[in-house]
Every structure is written in structure tokens, then in C-alpha cells.
Amino acid sequence: MSQGLVPVGGATAEIASDGTLTMLPGAGQGPAAPAGRRRRLAKSLFGTPIDAAITLACAVFLVAIAVPLLRWLVLDATFVGTTREDCVAPGACWVFIRARFSQFMYGFYPPAERWRVDVAGLVLVAGTVLLAWPGVPRKRLLATIAVLLGPPLGIWLLYGGLGLRIVETRDWGGLMLTVFLSVYAALIALPLGILLALGRQSRLPVIRLIATIFIEFWRGVPIIAVIFLASLLLPLILPNGAGIDRLARAVIGLGLCIAAYMAEAVRGGLQAIPPGQAEAASALGLGYWRLTGLIVLPQALRISLPALTNEFIALVKNTSLVLIVSILDLLGIAQAALADPAWVGKTWEAYAFAGLLYWLGCFGLSRWSLSIERRGVRHR
């Protein structure tokens, strides 16, 4: 005996008196679902004459841009060859990228020592994947080990010493330098930003004033000015004989600037937490540090994760500003490669390749952040 109809996924089922389900044919079943989506899409694009005109205008505009771009990038491009003379087609000369590929990746790093850059990159990727993989046991312990041992290990591999040949930072460049600047500036910016956000929320007036002055000062100064001043004026301020590597000064300047922006992102997450959370934890006898570390801060970081990701993406792109102090990151190497008389005029290819690498990195970061957000929503 029938007890009624119930929806099951995209279909309709009839439930019997004994609890069994019988799938019924109808509009809710599989073949009709794509048709329904197509109707909704058609309605949203061509529902009214104005909507149809806008849709057609956008389609014409995209075709007008996409077709010439596709021809230049792929159809009429040159991929095979070793010199500029091989680029006889009217499209892009990707032979230039092939000839300069190692420079785009490593800068002027000695070819015999580039295995160290590869090892450092593999360690970074493996550590990131391991910590991001759900279900990894002892993840907190692994994260602590990675934070404590990863940065000095990376510097040792790239710079040398203790059995490795020393490679001066003036020889670093390309994508490896962009990644180095991004990672090490973030290692400064994130913990400092969290401390500043907590300081700005502090009940102690002195701590709150110091944090506020720091944040407002670094947010009000252009990053390019900070890098310029850190590289040129800092050596004049330090005592004679004391010096800081030019690359280290750029990393510190970037880290301090981005820390101020990250502090505001974390502060927004702190303000979004209901006061009852802290009050309940205090009623259970938790002190300030345990309350903050176990209850308040994890929730604040989860809330502010999109904003923190946005600041890290901005950091990755702002690394190109170090070119002003003659540090040749990915974009700097692209410009340096164009100075070669053998490849003069290949500006579009150089910037297109550099832009593609920046986009891939930033897009990957945004997707990774989105996956963490969805995982957090599922576990609530």
C-alpha cells in the first residue's frame, strides 16, 4: 500500500507500507535534469530582449579577442628551434622561452648547483601536500617540525655552507627567487600579523597602542618605498662593519608590510566570534593563552582564511617590486632576457610566460584555500 511520494536525488520515489522504495518515471529523473538546467541557462541568457542582446554582444566580443589570441599563441606560433632565425611564423616565438627557460627558473644560479634548488622545491611541495592531505596522523607535530626545520633547511640548500658550495644571493633569480620571497616573507608576516591582531584587541592600552601604530604605519607606506628604503638606507643606519644581505632586507620589508594587512584580516575574524565563546571558556577556568589558542584563534583563522589567502596572493605579486633594487625575480629575469640583442622585440612572449606562471601560482592558492574552507564547513 502506498504511503506517499518522496524525492530521492533528482528523481521521485514511492514509499510502500513495508518501507521499500519504488522509483517512478517522471520529470525528476536523470534525463530531464540536464534539460531543466539547459532551460534555466537559456532563460538566464535569453530571457528578455535586453538579456539576449547583452549575451550576443559578449559572445561577439569574446570571439573577437579569443580567435586572434589563439592564433598568436598556438596556431601561428613557433615551438621548434634554437635561435631567432627559426621564428618565421607570424605568431609567438616560443623558441625564446625554450632558450631562456633555465634562466626563467633559476636566474643566474650555477648550473652545477641547480639540483639544490630542485631539492628545496620538492621539499616545499612535499611538505605542503603532506600537511594539506586530510587524515594525516600527527599533523600538528608534523606542522611544528616543518615550521622549525623547513626554513633553515631551505636557506642551507640554496645558499650553501656546511659542505655545500656557497652561492651568493646576487646569483639567485627567476621563479625560484619569487617563491623564496613569497614563502619567507609569509613566514614573517603571518605570525606577526596574528600577534598584532591580538595586540589590537588587547585590553591593555599600551599594547593596543603599539599594535595600532605599527599597523597604521606599515599600511600607510607604499611597499615599493619600503623595499627601496630598506635596501638603500638601512646600510647607512647600521654601524660600520654590520650589514644585512640585500635579499634579506627585501624579505623583511615585504614581511612587515604584509603583516599589517594580515593583522587586519585576522582582527576581522576575531571580531566575528560571538563573545559567548570566550565567556564560556573563561567560566571553565581557561586562562588567556589557552582560551586564545584553543578556542578563539582557531575560529578566527578559519573565518579570516579567504582574506588571508587574498593577502598572500597579493604578496606573491608584490614580490615583483624587488626589481627596483636590482633583485631579479621572475619578472626581473623576463626584462633582463629582453636585453639580449639576439632576442630584442620578444616582449610579448616574455611577459606572457611570466604572467602565466604568476596566474598558475595564484589560481592554485585560491583553489587550495577554497578546498580548506569546504572541508571546514563539512566538519562543523
DSSP track, 33-96? HHHHHHHHHHHHHHSSHHHHHHHHHHHHHHHHHHHHHHIIIIIT-B-S-SSGGG--SSS-BTHH
pLDDT in tens, 116-155: 999 999 999 998 888 878 778 888 888 888 889 999 999 9
Strands (E), 249-369: none
Distance CA 360, CA 94 (A): 18
What are the cell numbers at 262?
594580515
Mean pLDDT confidence for 193-209: 93
> How are the residues of the chain apportioned to helix, strand and coil, as percentages rounded to the nearest 5?
75, 5, 20
What are the cell numbers at 331?
619578472
**Cβ count within 10 A of residue 227:** 25
| C-alpha 34, offset from chain centre | 35
Are 349 and 96 in contact by the 8 Å Cβ rule? The answer is: yes
Is the confidence at residue 4, as pLDDT, over 60?
no
Distance CA 281, CA 274 (A): 12
Are 277 and 295 in contact by the 8 Å Cβ rule? The answer is: yes
Confidence of residue 44 (pLDDT cuts 50, 70, 90): confident
Distance CA 350, CA 346 (A): 6
Amino acid at 73: L
What is the phi/psi pair of residue 243, to 5°? -150, 155
Distance CA 25, CA 43 (A): 25
Distance CA 258, CA 264 (A): 10
pLDDT at 152: 95
What is the phi/psi pair of residue 365, to 5°? -65, -40
**Cβ count within 10 A of residue 335:** 14
Q: Indicate the pTM of the whole model.
A: 0.84
Mean pLDDT lowest for which of 139-148, 184-193, 355-364?
139-148
